[in-house]
Amino acid sequence: MIEVEGLTKDYGPRRAINNLTFRANPGEILGFLGPNGAGKTTTMRILSGFMPPTMGEARVAGFDVVDESLEVRKRVGYLPETVPLYPDMTVFDYLKYMADLRHIKNADERVDDVLEIVHMDERANGYISNLSKGMRQRIGLAQALLHEPEVLILDEPTIGLDPAQIREVRTLIREIGKQRTVLLSTHILSEAQQICDRVLIINKGEIVVEDTPERLQAGLTGVQRVSVRVQGDGDGLEKLINEISGVGKVSTTHEGAVEVESSPGKDLRPLIARNVVKAGFELLELKSIDLSLEDIFIQLTREEPEPPSTDDTSEDGS
């Protein structure tokens, strides 16, 4: 369990995170989303006992991260953003060292176990300096799993992995998340959508929104949107749809499709279909448009006062 209240961290005059409050329950995977520099890593560093907050409180597995830091660290598995490995050690020795530091009984067996979990058992005796980025990432994950922690904190766990490995790690995290509390940061939105039970979007150190991925998609926009496409140039289509009762804003996209907005909970598709066909159009496509998390993310984290050119680059970067 992770309980965070009013968490604030200043780096000199710069406020990295401001008054964060959230919680994550056992058996829950909480996704931490935000553009680069939003304060994800800072928050995770505080929760893992690496550094104390400037203000506010955080309890992990029931212990305060400042006053009972050692107890917290015993119960947290932490994968930092830059995977901390000793290149001049073998995979096995490295994990054995970490297992020893955590006073794990039968450390050798446990190391073998976690190596099997991350599919690195064949490279146990290889030097870390010879491993690829994806392999290193997996060793970092193995390190975080060694002591079967109650709480897992993973800072961008799938970065640098190839698509097959990403899928594997996601499955693994979901598996782990069944009994434990997992907090993972990512800026890949589809990832959050796939594995997280709940998503927390932060921007500039503040929580922008907190909800399930599904509810975020459905509820945030406040409107339901339908796209209509007909054969030909569709002259008069927009005007026709405009006259249907219950229809909100209607617009034609540059691809020639007409987008119709309506209030949520009211499906206008049958009505639109009937009217369009009756008016003699050849209906090709009629579908409802879901906002992707990408859209929501960009909407929420947009930097309004910035000129459009820099706005674009910041969105690309995130």
Note the residues at the interface with another protein (CB under 8 A).
11, 45, 48-52, 70, 73-74, 76, 78, 80, 82-88, 97-98, 100-103, 143
Tell which residue, 284, 271, 280, has the closest CA to residue 228: 284
Helix (H) or strand (E) holding 295, with range, is helix 293-301
CB of 70 to another protein, least distance (A): 5
CB of 122 to another protein, least distance (A): 22
Please check whether residue 255 is in contact with residue 233, taking contact to mean a CB–CB distance below 8 angstroms: no
- Give the separation between CA 154 and CA 141, rounded to whole angstroms: 8
List all residues 6 or more positions away from 166 whose beta carbon is below 8 Å from its beta carbon: 158, 191
Q: Which is nearer to another protein, 137 or 203 (CB)?
A: 137
Q: Which is nearer to another protein, 128 or 276 (CB)?
A: 128
Q: Which is nearer to another protein, 82 or 310 (CB)?
A: 82
CB of 177 to another protein, least distance (A): 20
CB of 260 to another protein, least distance (A): 52
Q: Which is nearer to another protein, 82 or 252 (CB)?
A: 82
Count other Cβ atoms within 10 Å, centred on residue 2: 23
CB of 82 to another protein, least distance (A): 5
Count other Cβ atoms within 10 Å, centred on residue 105: 7
- Give the separation between CA 220 and CA 226, rounded to whole angstroms: 16
Q: Which is nearer to another protein, 48 or 203 (CB)?
A: 48
CB of 118 to another protein, least distance (A): 17
Q: Partners of 184 in the beta sheet?
A: 31, 154
Centroid of chain to Cα 90: 32
Q: Which is nearer to another protein, 140 or 177 (CB)?
A: 140
- Give the separation between CA 146 and CA 169, rounded to whole angstroms: 16
